[in-house]
Structure 1
Amino acid sequence: MEPDAARDIAVTDRAFFHILQLAGFTGGTENLMKLGEMNWPDIRDLDKERLVAVYPIASFEQHGLHLPLLTDTIQLDAMVESMDGKIGDRIVCLPTQWLGYSFHHMRFGGSLTARSQTHIRMLVETVDGLIGAGFDKVLVINGHGGNSADLRVALQELKETHAETRVYGASWWGVAAPALDAIREAGPNGSGHAGETETSMMLTLRPDLVQTDRLHPDGGWPPSVYAGRVEHFRRIDEHSSRGNFGDPTVATADKGQRMLDATVNSLVEIVDDILGERL
């Protein structure tokens, strides 16, 4: 979808499912209260005051030599499914949007990306559709670091056009950072991309897709003390020869399960805080 075409979409109740289709969704889990499996009277009749609409966004990009292209999407699907097991009466979910902003991975074959302008339109107009269908509390759960900048812009734009609607964005690794840090063993630079955290989670979720004979530490930040304080957009191939950043060699399935549990607990607390008007 080109940016100009996206801007031409009229966001109305009738356009709701059309927008979901254009947004590039793929299948989700079997037990969720899924908008994609409902009809329009079902959606109309939902008690939206007691619900948070959950919109998961991920990516389709390389994850080093050892993890699959859908790593972010697989992880986020599992997190949302686990949320449903805990608070299924409080959330209604879109399928995970697998196309994100991944320009910085495009020199590694197989990665797919939307342009930033297109991605922002996808985010804004999908949430527009949710709001048009009557949802006034929306939580965008982000499963890919490259989406973060676009998500911030989308949240700003949505506030400008829907001043009274509560739209939130949460990157799972950020909201669960204290708990994840307590589990990790590779240090502060061990989990950037396809490192300890993601590899551990995939060893739990899809061990059949983890090529354990290809685990190598890779990547590193520039030596300047200002490296983390100065904005400079880099491609991942500029600081990683294999496509991962961090140390996957210390990953274990046990740590992966604990990381997933900690992350889901944080996301559940966020939903409860939204419904309780504490956030």
Structure 2
Amino acid sequence: MAVGGFMGERPIYSRMNLSDATWTDVRDADADIAVVPVGSTEQHGPHAPLGTDVVTAEAVADAGCERSERDVLRAPAIPVGVAEEHRQFPGTMWVSEGTFRDYVRESVESLFYHGIDRVVLVNGHGGNVAALREVGARLTRDGDEDTYAVPFTWFDAVGDHSSEMGHGGPLETALLRRVAPDLVREDRLDAASESGADGWGEWVSYANLAYDSAEFTDNGVVGDPRDGPTERGDELLELAAAALARLLEAVAERDASRPERRGGDSE
């Protein structure tokens, strides 16, 4: 593979960034697996950027590829997702779930066309989760025999930290401090914490009564961002990257042939 790469004690493997490569680089590459970061452009409180979910998804995707023992193609990020729940906060962008599913699916199908038949969708936004699971299923069920796609949401893969995932809270703030510290407005952290919510939604009888985040958080924050130091970001990135590297190996090795219909014809 001609673009990207790193050195270490184990053999040299490469990560090719599709945006930086030429078509001849891709033609000559050995990669048969790709990662596609998927995020959102939405409010993350007064202290974190609208692009938080894109920045974190890209960082985890890159770190996971670097830890992988595979030659991996890293596709450009998809920056707008299913985020209408944040519509009351200026700058938030969103598309319908159907539009999002179609766009992601067709983007991945273009990789399939070029022989990249295994794809991991590295997700950084909770609102995308259900749609991406459906996209992965459709791509796998409807594609050729060898094609396979699966979503990976980084904040579900960080062990006990996952229970503290809010919105613009400790996990996202910590990871931002690790990968893009200049984007965190440190002087706004106290205000972000004081006007935020402790948990996501308004729950009664196991049902969430709220559809939009503005119904339960004044400034868009859920969780205390002050509990997200850089050291925690180091740990989050390591956990997420290691989990992604394991997933890339499993996806690359998976038998993607479709199971036979159960029962068969009676004799």
TM-score, scaled to structure 1: 0.77
Percent identical among aligned pairs is: 30
- Asked whether the 8 Å contact 1:43–1:133 carries over to 2, the reply is no
For 1:191 and 1:213, locate their aligned partners in 2 and report how far apart those are by CA, in whole Å.
22
Q: 1:106 aligns with which of 87, 108, 113?
A: 87
In the alignment, which residue of structure 2 is the partner of 1:224? 204
Q: 2:155 aligns with which of 168, 173, 180?
A: 173
In the alignment, which residue of structure 2 is the partner of 1:193? 167
1:90-129 maps to which residues of 2 (within 5 A)? 90-129=71-110
1:150-161 maps to which residues of 2 (within 5 A)? 150-161=131-142
1:1-279 maps to which residues of 2 (within 5 A)? 32-48=15-31, 51-87=32-68, 89-162=70-143, 164=145, 165-174=147-156, 176-181=157-162, 188=163, 190-215=164-189, 216=193, 218-219=196-197, 220=199, 221-227=201-207, 234-277=211-254
For 2:90 and 2:79, locate their aligned partners in 1 and report how far apart those are by CA, in whole Å.
17
Q: CA deviation at 1:157?
A: 2.3
- Asked whether the 8 Å contact 2:65–2:245 carries over to 1, the reply is no
For 1:248 and 1:237, locate their aligned partners in 2 and report how far apart those are by CA, in whole Å.
18
TM-score, scaled to structure 2: 0.80
Q: Which SS does the other structure have where 2:175 is aligned?
A: helix
- Asked whether the 8 Å contact 2:40–2:82 carries over to 1, the reply is yes
Q: C-alpha offsets along residues 211-257 of structure 1, whole Å, 9 cap, x if unaligned?
A: 22322152234342413xx6x67111111111011111222111111
Q: CA deviation at 1:170?
A: 1.1
Q: C-alpha offsets along residues 135-180 of structure 1, whole Å, 9 cap, x if unaligned?
A: 1111111111111122122223223421521111111112x14253
For 1:90 and 1:32, locate their aligned partners in 2 and report how far apart those are by CA, in whole Å.
6
In the alignment, which residue of structure 1 is the partner of 2:5? none
Q: Which SS does the other structure have where 1:139 is aligned?
A: strand
Distance 1:163-1:32 versus aligned 2 partners, 3 A rule? closer
The one-letter code of the counterpart of 2:253 is G
Kindly tell me the number of residue pairs found equivalent between the two proteins: 236
Distance 1:177-1:207 versus aligned 2 partners, 3 A rule? closer
